[in-house]
Chains A and B, each alone.
Chain A
Amino acid sequence: MTKLPGWQGLQRVALVLGLPAVLVVVWWFASADSDHLVFRPLSEILVAFRETWLGPRLVEDVLPSLSRLARGYAASVVLGVGLGVLVGWSRTLRALLEPVLELLRAIPPPALIPLIGLFAGLGDSRRIVIIIAGCVWPILLNTVEGVRAVDEVLADTCRSYRVRGLTRLRQLVLRSASPQIMTGARQALAIGIILMVISELRGTVHGIGFSVEQFQTSFRYPEMWSGVLLLGLLGVALALLFRLADSWILGWYHGLRASNRER
């Protein structure tokens, strides 16, 4: 069978877009005549999406939420990697702190919200602290693991060449631990989005989580579903962004693995 040029590319596009397209079409037509109070037609939800989120709410609710997420996440990365390097580097410190860290990590972050509320008032800082309280653990524990697993030969080589201080930290410790750190950072991102929403659910006046809850309690269901849709799109967009960052930061590592596999 002769294949047209681009036939395979076309096939791949069809495979990638086929099922999502079918699902959207099914959703569109199955919901088109819905007069159910809760399950509104997709067309209505899309109109609500445009009117709700592409208007003033973009600046008043979406951006503040994302900014809190960014600040909390950045602080978690700095804290997690910093403490993780310290704890991972000293065998004694690691043995001393591991059970405490395991216990603290095992606490579901949302359970801390009432406690954090005692200290941090009601402002932005409280919600950022909530995000940090959940995000820092996967980064911290993965950094500890990564630092612990630094290659012995490389460590000895660095010692022989008297590579010390910041150079040693950057070129040996952080670099060897970076794949593991990125694994932790990926888990932390998913947790961060969850906590961004949850931290806005009680006692706030703006934010995505607040808006969606408000729509739900005031029976504005098309707007509520559009909020669910927005959170889904944000989750997907941030996951894509993370993948880009990952291939940029860990490009050397993925290349190394691929060439090792070919050998």
Chain B
Amino acid sequence: MALSLRPLWLGVAGLVGFGALLELVPRLGVVDDRFLPPTSRILSVLAEQAGAGPLWSAVGNTVLTWAIGLALAVAAAVVLGVVIGSVRFLRAATASTIEFLRPIPSVAWIPAALVLYGPVRAGTLLIVVYAAFWQMLVQVLHGVADVDPVARDTAYSYRLGRWARVRWLTWPTALPYAVTGLRLAATVALILTVTGELFIGGPGLGAEILRASAGGAVPLTYALVLVTGLLGVAANLLFRLVERRALAWHPAVRGEVPA
């Protein structure tokens, strides 16, 4: 028991040490504290903000944009992925197009988003959906293509209908891939949400960071950046949990739990 707790304590010590280092560097004058305020000042600004409304409404707005974008991207990718993935001809015919469209950097659409929607949430959603869609689509395609040939032949022998095949054959095969895709897409979508709020528009943490830094409120800028990081960590933990829940039956997950 003591052994398994050790990494946890070390991790906490690491975080505290990192905070202490960032406290000392400006205090000792290594770096100008106008550029890097001590940790205590950043945390006190954060605590002050946590008691007020605007921070939470910014967090809420970012989470909302992120969730809408992720939901749109995932829904589109799952439908298209299952259709394309289960028809051999479609898979072969679309492969080159997908390989071409996927590496187009999502930020290439920033000017287009500004022209088409203006500095509002919809513009940010455009780049969020674009970036998250490909992460998910590629995973779903891999998953659908991975159906075990014996299982597929068995399903045909038992004359499972189209719907039953999707439910009992494609779904469980593709699920692990899809869940991984979901986690990757969620991470990318969060990055692009904040990016969009910074460079396109719409309410949220990105907009607040821009306002704080333009107003010269350096400790507040740091505090807000810290909040985006915490949001990212929370999202990552959440989707790891989803992964474990959704795949509790899967040998890779079951094997992690000692019987």
Contacts and interface: CB of A to CB of B under 8 A. Distances in A.
Interface of B: 6-7, 10-15, 17-18, 35-36, 92-97, 99-112, 114-116, 190-191, 193-195, 198-199, 205-206, 209-210, 212-213, 218, 221-222, 224-226, 228-233, 235-236
Contact of B229 (A17, A96, A104, A238): A104
Given A106-B233, A212-B108, 8 more contacts: A102-B236, A107-B226, A113-B198, A115-B221, A119-B35, A212-B111, A232-B100, A239-B102
Contacts of A221: 115
A142 to B, nearest CB: 14
Q: Which of A95, A109, A209 has the most CB of B within 10 A?
A: A95
B225 A198 contact: no
A20 B10 contact: no
A216 B97 contact: no
User: Chain A's interface: helix, strand, loop or mixed, by majority?
Assistant: helix
Interface in A187-203: 190, 193-194, 197-198, 201
B7 A118 contact: no
Interface of A: 15-20, 23, 38, 92, 95-100, 102-115, 117-119, 190, 193-194, 197-198, 201, 209, 212-213, 215-216, 221, 224-225, 227-228, 231-232, 235-236, 238-239
Contacts of B224: 111
Given A98-B14, A216-B115, A107 B104 contact: no
A92 B115 CA distance: 51
B171 to A, nearest CB: 25
A154 B103 CA distance: 37
Contact of B100 (A20, A102, A114): A20
Nearest to B21: A100
Contacts of A98: 7, 11, 14
